[in-house]
Amino acid sequence: MKTVHGLDDFPDSLRGGAVAIGNFDGAHLGHARLIERLRAMVSRVGGPAVAFTFDPPPTRLLRPDAAPEPLVWLERKIEILAELGVDALVVYPTNKEFLDTEPREFFDRVVRGRLSARAMVEGPNFFFGRNRSGNVDLLRQLCAAAGMPFEVVQPVEVAGRIVSSSRIRRLVSQGEIAAAGKMLGRPYRIRGLVVYGAGRGARLGYPTANLGHVDVLLPGHGIYAARAMVGNIRRPAAVSLGPNPTFGEGGTKVEVHLIGFHEMIYERSIEVDFLDKLREIKRFESAEALIDQMRRDVARSLEIAAGSQ
């Protein structure tokens, strides 16, 4: 897949295909269906399958205090969209001037002008242009006037619930990580930098990598079965996310115990796939009681990780 940042000097080789525009936050099963239909449209009209996304998401500029935490970082989004079959991804550097563009101007200048699109595919809740004043009905009219095929892809449902980024965000925040993973089509993943902690986990026999600088939405507090990636190394893991009431520590910490892994990885970036929630965080009466529970948590994490290969 070819990734293009911005529209200046847009390659001719990527023009004249089918286009889908959106944030693609989470790159979930609904987005996978959209890309599937985009590929089908390309087989009909020719040219590349082009996805167009924004960095940062428009809400970061329009409503910075209310902008939701993302479900996926940009590099990961690019990786997933490539796996789904996109030929080219346009990452547009969002600015207020661009967001003030009227819908018809956006269609004429960007869709028809820079991209030379021959067809479009969108979801039913797509909005575009100044104040989100453009919707799929207007886009259908614009495409029809331009002689372009246009398809609205209906939502995907999992367990009777529509898949959406906002629904997945709620599930992740509530710690319903397995349900979120079913809607994503893969485990929910975070990344962070390993920072120095108190070193208590090592003294208890379960050393942890303490993560800082996490740039996506954190799951709700709890103990989780997970899988951690350090470079090309993949290990089952048990994650404590939240405070440590046994030792009187508040605040939210992300502590990852990589099972069977003993290397020093301070200041390295690691990624963590959350597989399932094991239990809530609670206060133990003694370190011994905590160690006994940690032993059970690690055993259960190993079972879950083995079953998710």
Its domain, for residue 236, covers 187-307
Neighbours of 265 (CB within 10 A): 17
Is residue 168 in some structural domain? no
The CATH number of whichever domain residue 249 belongs to comes to 2.40.30.30
Q: What are the DSSP E strand ranges found in 15-94?
A: 18-21, 49-55, 88-93
Using DSSP's 3-state secondary structure scheme, residue 49 falls into strand
| Residues 129 and 20 reside in one and the same domain | yes
Query: Quick one: pLDDT at residue 102?
Result: 96
Is residue 180 in some structural domain? no
Does residue 219 contact residue 241 with C-beta atoms inside 8 Å?
yes
| Residues 6 and 142 reside in one and the same domain | yes
| Residues 7 and 149 reside in one and the same domain | yes
Count up the domains in the chain and report the number.
2
CA proximity to 293, closest of 174, 200, 172, 206: 206
Alpha carbons 128 and 106: distance in angstroms, whole number: 8
Phi/psi class of residue 108: alpha, beta or left (left: φ > 0; alpha: ψ in -120 to 50)?
alpha
| Residues 230 and 138 reside in one and the same domain | no
pTM as predicted: 0.94
The CATH number of whichever domain residue 127 belongs to comes to 3.40.50.620
For 19, half-sphere exposure in the C-beta direction (CA atoms, 13 angstrom radius) is 22
Query: Quick one: pLDDT at residue 60?
Result: 87
pLDDT tens across the length of the chain (309 residues): 999 999 988 999 999 999 999 999 999 999 999 999 999 999 999 999 999 999 988 888 888 888 899 999 999 999 999 999 999 999 999 888 888 999 999 999 999 999 999 999 999 999 999 988 999 999 999 999 999 999 999 999 999 999 999 999 999 999 999 999 999 999 999 999 999 877 676 677 788 999 999 999 999 999 999 999 999 999 999 999 999 888 777 789 999 999 999 888 999 999 999 999 999 999 998 889 999 999 999 999 999 999 886
| Residues 144 and 209 reside in one and the same domain | no
Is residue 163 in some structural domain? no
Question: Domain ends where: 134, 155, 176?
Answer: 155
Query: Quick one: pLDDT at residue 59?
Result: 87
User: String of b and e for 94-124 (b: at least 16 CB within 10 Å)?
Assistant: beeebbebebeebbeebbbebbbbbbbbbbe
Q: For residue 274, what are the CA distances in angstroms to 76, 225, 227, 234, 252? A: 15, 6, 7, 13, 17
Is residue 46 in some structural domain? yes
CA proximity to 217, closest of 277, 170, 268, 276: 170
| Residues 139 and 228 reside in one and the same domain | no
